Amino acid sequence: MRALLKNLSHVLVIAALAATSCSKEEDASIEPFNKGSETAVTSSSTWEFYWAQTPVNSLISKTLPANVGNVSKNYVLYVPSTYNDNYNKWPLVIFLHGIGEMGTDLNKVKNVGLCRVVKGKQFVMVAPQCLSGWWNTSALNEFLKQIIPKFHVDPKRIYLTGLSMGGYGTWDWAENYASQFAAIVPISGGGDVNKACNLKTMPIWAFHNADDPTVSVNNSRDMVKAVKACGSTKIRYTENATGGHDAWTKAYADPNLYTWLLAQHK
């Protein structure tokens, strides 16, 4: 009897060790989905994995493995409080800051433009930071490629907006990579009129103030005119008589902008 119990004890120990080993192997296989606040979620209907988030309904700082050209590895993220409520893919808005927010202080990005009013909006927002120089569209495109897999993003509803230097960046990025975006909102910026026809089917809502002392309003006027000359029927333009360089505070405060934006699909 004692021999039987001893053998049984050995069997139980071996079984426990095997279970522990399997558990460790399973944990290792899903480890990338369990770092920080991110957890793997599987849709029972589509059997696809995506990154769940801890919704905070406010701005948080996130980090990529490394800088992407002159685009910092550190970026600002906003995730709605309802992000994990269903398996629907979310619209993604990329926000490009102006020259005053360039550098390594991410708090500057959090305190300008769309970042100031994004709370409560029903989309994921990512705001990269330019380290130096000017927005580089190739670097931005590589940055976006790293961002998309981290979130349950609808590839047909990726939007781009920016102010001042970011307004230039919005025109430029969309002109060179038009297929990436469902719509763009450039504010107080300008683009390359020679590439305007790349945007002839792009939904656009541009903003500028007529008395802008920093970036001439003619930059937006010329781009709007050039895009229309290519046959576009999807471009809107709002020009305020006054307001100086800051056309973005009024633009981002308008709920009609988000209604229009989120209605656009590729």
In angstroms and rounded to an integer, the radius of gyration of the C-alpha atoms of the chain is: 24
Residue 52's pLDDT is what? 64
Q: Which pairs with CB-CB distance under 8 Å and at least 24 residues apart come from 140-149?
A: 140/68, 140/71, 140/96, 140/169, 140/173, 141/173, 141/177, 141/180, 142/68, 142/69, 142/71, 143/64, 143/68, 143/71, 143/75, 144/94, 144/180, 146/64, 146/68, 147/75, 147/92, 148/92, 149/51
With H, G, I as helix, E, B as strand and everything else as coil, classify residue 119: coil
Confidence category of residue 58, pLDDT binned at 50, 70, 90: confident
With H, G, I as helix, E, B as strand and everything else as coil, classify residue 51: strand
Confidence category of residue 10, pLDDT binned at 50, 70, 90: very low
- Residue 125 CA to chain centroid, in angstroms? 5
Judge whether residue 139 has pLDDT over 80.
yes
Q: Is this structure's pTM higher than 0.85?
A: no
- % pLDDT > 90, the chain: 74
Confidence category of residue 85, pLDDT binned at 50, 70, 90: confident
